[in-house]
Each structure stands twice: as C-alpha cells, then as structure tokens.
Chain A
Amino acid sequence: MDQILKNIRDLAGVHGSFVFDSAGRLYAHSAHAVFDAGALEQASQIVVKALDTIQLHYESWETMSVRFSDGWLLLRSVGSGAGGAAEPAPMFLAVIADQTLNFSFANVAIRVATGKIKKALQGGGSSQEFGPPSSRTSGMSFNPGYSNASAPQISQIPVPPQPPGVSSSGLSWSGFASSTTVGSSAVSVADQEASAFLSVCARALAQSVGPMAKVFVKEDVRKATGGAPFSSAHAHMLLALLETHIDDPADRAAFRKKVGV
C-alpha cells in the first residue's frame, strides 16, 4: 500500500495521497511533511461528510475532482475494506495536488493505483501494511428517547392534508412506490401508508433543517431498514435517527408533535 501511494506522490504536482474509510479514519498515507497524519485524518473526516451527501444523490459515483484556487483534491471510491470487520467499510483514495498537475497524466496514474488498491483491499493486506483500526465502531448512533413500547404505529399517525404549494416544494415523495425502488436515490417502502408516513416526517423535519430534510429521511430510512422496504416496524428507529438532525429541544418537541408522537 505504501508503495502504491508513494508512486502517486512521485507525480509532478502531487503533494500527497491517502486512503481513508467512510468514518473518516486514515488507513494509509504518503505525503509531504506539512500533511501529517493528524491533518490528513482531520481532512478525511470533513471529506466524508461531503461524500456521504454525494452518495445520497449520486449513488453510482466513482470519481470526484475538487478544484480550489491553489490546487486540486482528487477523490476515488476504491471499494470496501477487509480485515475482519462484520461489515466492510467503503474506502476512498484522496490525492492532494497543486496547479501544476498534469491532469490527464495524473488521471491515468491514479486509475492504475486505484486498481491496485482495490486488489489490495480485496486481499485484505497484512495488518502492518494495511488494515482497519482496532477500535472499529458501527458509525451509527441512536437516540435512546424511543423504546419499542412507545414506538408509534404508522396507522395511528394522522396524515395531514397537503398544504398549498407543497407539490412544488420538492418534499413530495414521488420517488416512493409500494415495494419498489424508483430513481437512483429512492428508498423502497412496504405500502402506501408507509410512504405517506415518510412524507409527514420529511415535511415536519423540513421545518427545522430546510431542504435537506428529504435527503436526511432517505439516508435514515436506509440506516433504519438496512435496505429492506420501510414499514411500521422501522418507524421508532427512523424517528430516533431523524431527531438527531434537530439541535434545538423545542424544535425537536415540535417535530415529535407534527409526526404524531
């Protein structure tokens, strides 16, 4: 792994390259002294936020090129890490470069490196050369405010009439259909009732977080269901996840009230 990253770093205009996982943990790096492991891990953690967002809307993304006034950050999806984790985390390669980078040449070199990194990841690599950090966590946190006993049933939650203008607000759930997945970023639902419930959640959440509400709902539905169609059984977990996006306690209470909890 070190040699692969060093080969990238040897390209004219490149100042460093590093591999990190979807939790922003640095796995390997080769960079000029100014980019120490701490700085790169800090950058990884911020990049992951952007990648999580991009992933929601552009699921099939493979490469990302970010242009700054003084240089470039090139990002590649390199598959999933091995190393014995229950669920391998997605991994990414990042390359830091300045304005002198020969973009076409670098793209070829990075593509070659990406292939090698993917191969190394599939093989697992040695623990010294490449491996996940020892303190792996799931990266998911749940608000314990909901218990199964108090879990709302979808059928008990009233679906308010759609207010004027909502159809053009982007908060309608046109991407949802019973037991189907529509569109690249849609999630599947078990029935129309579940779909209506998600609409209520998105509208209520939008009062606090704005247009990102629909994105958060989709993301949290995936977390709550693990890819299964959303149904009433997942409602309490979804609401707990959605609440984490609301900082203000009063807003959180208003959200609960709006969704009928």
Chain B
Amino acid sequence: MSTLAWVSGIPEIMSAVVGDMSGAVTDVAGDPEGETTAAISGFAATSLAEVGDALGLGSLEGFSVAGKDIAVVVTVMGGMLITTRVDPAKPLAAVEKKLASVLRG
C-alpha cells in the first residue's frame, strides 16, 4: 500500500501531496494545486531545516500550519515530504497523532 493510500485513509485528511525537499511532486490526492503545494512545502522545509541547524535543534521532522480556515501538517519521512491538508474544524493535534501513527508505525 502506498504512503498516499495510507494517509488518505484518515477521515480528517482532505488532501495529500507526496514530494521531496527539492519541491518535486511524486504523488497527489485531492489537491488541484499539488505541484505548487509540493514546491511550497519543499522550499519551507529547506529553510526550516537550516533554522534547526542554526539553533541547534537537530534535524527537521515536520511542521504544521494553522489558521482560521487552514490546517496543514507536513511530515518529513526518509527524504520525502508528505503534505496533508486537514479539516480545520477537527483538532489538529489529534490528527497529527494519527498521521504519526500511520507514517511512523
């Protein structure tokens, strides 16, 4: 079963994009702007990894973005970036736990 299939099985996940740190997209489900999403995640992740080095926080494992009508979780896994858009009405922390459980086992 592909990463995308695993992630898409979580009911709170509205869309998912699998890409890499360079912003290249490898798989998309439910995101009409998948290529842009992957590029944004790749670019942001590269900068954030640099911040982790500068502040001695270690390697980047992921990040989440939240706002009034937005909830996104980006997970770094073996050089891949899995960007998932989450239903903003659902508690983000709970979805992050589910994602970690699915992706990291």
Asked if A54 contacts B35 (CB within 8 A), the reply is no
Within the complex, what minimum Cβ distance (angstroms) separates B6 from chain A?
20
Asked if A64 contacts B65 (CB within 8 A), the reply is yes
Asked if A211 contacts B54 (CB within 8 A), the reply is no
Number of interface residues of B (CB under 8 A): 39
Q: Which residue from B32, B60, B68 sits with its C-beta under 8 Å from A68?
A: B60
Within the complex, what minimum Cβ distance (angstroms) separates B30 from chain A?
15
Q: C-beta contact mask, A216-237 vs B, less than 8 Å → 1, else 0?
A: 0000000000000000000000
Set of chain B residues within 8 Å of A35, measured between Cβ atoms: 55
Set of chain A residues within 8 Å of B48, measured between Cβ atoms: 47, 50, 66, 73
| A69 in contact with B34 given A43-B54, A54-B44 (CB within 8 Å) | no
| A57 in contact with B63 given A69-B58, A211-B23 (CB within 8 Å) | no
Set of chain A residues within 8 Å of B24, measured between Cβ atoms: 210-211
In the complex, A147 has a CB within 8 A of chain B: no
Which residues from 114 to 153 on chain A have a C-beta closer than 8 Å to any C-beta of chain B?
none
Set of chain B residues within 8 Å of A72, measured between Cβ atoms: 57
| A54 in contact with B33 given A66-B60, A69-B59, A73-B57 (CB within 8 Å) | no
Set of chain B residues within 8 Å of A169, measured between Cβ atoms: 35
Q: Is the interface of B mostly helix, strand, loop or mixed?
A: mixed
* Contact-size category for A: 35 or more
The residue in chain B whose Cβ has the minimal distance to the Cβ of A34 is: B56
Which residues from 47 to 78 on chain A have a C-beta closer than 8 Å to any C-beta of chain B?
47, 49-50, 53-54, 56-58, 60-73
Set of chain A residues within 8 Å of B47, measured between Cβ atoms: 46-47, 49-50, 53
Q: How far is the CA of A29 from the CA of B59 in the complex (A)?
A: 24
Asked if B37 contacts A57 (CB within 8 A), the reply is yes
Q: How far is the CA of A35 from the CA of B43 in the complex (A)?
A: 25
Asked if B68 contacts A50 (CB within 8 A), the reply is no
Asked if B35 contacts A170 (CB within 8 A), the reply is yes
Q: How far is the CA of A126 from the CA of B29 in the complex (A)?
A: 50
In the complex, A108 has a CB within 8 A of chain B: no
Q: Which 4 A-B pairs have the closest CB atoms?
A: A170-B35, A69-B58, A70-B58, A68-B57
- Using a CB–CB cutoff of 8 Å, the interface residues on chain A facing chain B are 34-35, 39, 42-43, 46-47, 49-50, 53-54, 56-58, 60-73, 96, 103, 169-171, 174-175, 184-185, 210-212, 214-215
